[in-house]
Every structure is written in structure tokens, then in C-alpha cells.
Structure 1
Amino acid sequence: MHKPLSPSSIHPPFAPYSPGIEVASRSRFVFLSGQLGIARDGTIPPDCAGQAALAFANIEAILAEAAMSLGDIVRINAFVTGREHLQSYMQVRNKLFAEPYPASTLMIVSGFARPEFVVEIEAIAATPG
């Protein structure tokens, strides 16, 4: 099991995530490239929530290839193209994860390779060896 780290000596998180995650040294890791909200057929939802849900579904499919699930994610890095997307991204993320929450960072960036994309999500998952 991975251990969330949340010392009382620092400011608590602004949302449901862990400030740190301790991973046992004999764990098996999967490092996921950034996933966009694009379906197999190339369709892209017009909104951040739709793109975030699809990006997490893509992450879930990749993890399934390694016999893992979203519950095995220990680290999320997410990127959105504007502050107006923060809330909808976090609502999608918060529905998918429960305690112990993964470590998480959310950044605002100027854009992605195609202008219709508004969110990209990368992750690291780990399971005991």
C-alpha cells in the first residue's frame, strides 16, 4: 500500500489530493504520457469536463493494459489552457478518486498542439511489486 504524506506543519491542500505519496521500493510503476480528451474515432468534446473525462478514460484504458486501475495512480500532472477550466477539471478528477488521494499538480499553460484541446493529463501509477 502507498502511504499519503500530509504533515500538519504545512498548509492543507486546496482540493482532494495528497501533498506527497510514499511508494514502497519494490513497486511496479507505469508512467503515462500526457493524455488528451480525444476519442478513438478522433472526436473531441467541446468542453473541459468532457475532455477531462475522456482523458481519464484513456488513462484508465492504458492502466488496464498493465492490470492496473485509476486507484493505482500516485501522481497526476494536469494542464489546462485557462483559469476558467480549473473548476470543471477538478470536478471530473474529484469524482474519480478517493482517499488516499494521489499527489496532484494543476498548471495553466498557453496551449497544446491543436487549439481545440483545453486539458492534458499525465500520471504515474504504482502497485506492490
Structure 2
Amino acid sequence: MSLRALSPPAIRPPFARYSHGIVVPAGHRLVFTSGQLGIAGDETVPADSEAQSDLCFANIAAILAEDRMTLADIVRLNAYVTAREHMQGYMRSRDRQFPGTPPSSTLMIVSGFSRPEFLVEIEAVAAAPDPS
């Protein structure tokens, strides 16, 4: 799917590499993921936000693959970090995942997650043409 970003000239450009809005054409199916944490299948949790973000995106990719989608189909991200110092690691990981048109995105700082070692949580919305 070729994403079309919405960037009205009347508003300030995005603060980082994301789109203000993304158009989802008619005839597309949507997948909404739950928030993914930076934990591997063997229960290990990396110590830094960038590595945790990489795992979050790998988990999201696995979820999307269940419906024949990839990270390239993501149109919206919501990400949460536990402190400002974790923002840059998340953003480096995010920017690597989306070399083309970046999805619309929100990044929030929260007080914590279910376990103290978690620094990042990411949820996504993806859209792809309906195969029918």
C-alpha cells in the first residue's frame, strides 16, 4: 500500500519523523494491535529503550503477519515511554522501521507499566487492501 500523508501547511510541521495524518483508502481491512512490550519469547527484557522498542516492533510484525501484513502497512502508532530519556531510543528504533512515509504517531510519557523493567510500550493500527 502506498501511504498518503496529510500535512496541512496551516499547521506546524511534525516535531519528529512522523505524519500528521494518513489516508486509508476505501476497500482496506484494518488490524489493531494491543500494546506490545519489549520482552522476548524467552522472557528476557533488554535494559535500554531502543532494544525494547526493537522487540516491540518485532512483536507487532509477527501479529501483522498473521493477517498477511507487514510494518509497511502501519498507518498509526501510539507509543509510551516511562521517562524523557527513553524517547530518543524509541525514536531511533521507530525511524529504522519506516524508511518510507512514516505513520501518524503519538508518543506519551507515562509513570510505568506492569513490571518496572519495561520502559516502552507500542501499539499500532495497520491497513491493507481487502483481498476479496
For Structure 1 versus Structure 2, the TM-score category normalised by the shorter chain is: over 0.9
After superposing on structure 2, the runs of 4+ consecutive aligned residues of structure 1 that deviate more than 3 Å are none
- Structure 2: how far apart are the matches of 1:124 and 1:65? 14
Measured on the aligned residues, the alpha-carbon RMSD in Å equals: 0.9
- Structure 1: how far apart are the matches of 2:18 and 2:3? 14
In structure 2, what is the equivalent of residue 98 of structure 1?
99
Contact 1:55 1:120 in 2 (8 A): yes
1:51 partner letter: Q
The within-5 A match list for 1:47-62 is 47-62=48-63
The within-5 A match list for 1:1-129 is 1-129=2-130
- Structure 2: how far apart are the matches of 1:115 and 1:96? 26
- Structure 1: how far apart are the matches of 2:52 and 2:71? 17
Structure 1 residue 99 displacement after superposition? 2.7
Runs of 5+ unmatched residues, structure 1: none
Contact 1:28 1:128 in 2 (8 A): yes
Contact 1:2 1:24 in 2 (8 A): no
Count of aligned pairs: 129
TM-score computed with the length of structure 2 as normaliser: 0.94
TM-score computed with the length of structure 1 as normaliser: 0.97
- Structure 2: how far apart are the matches of 1:127 and 1:47? 32
1:81 partner letter: T
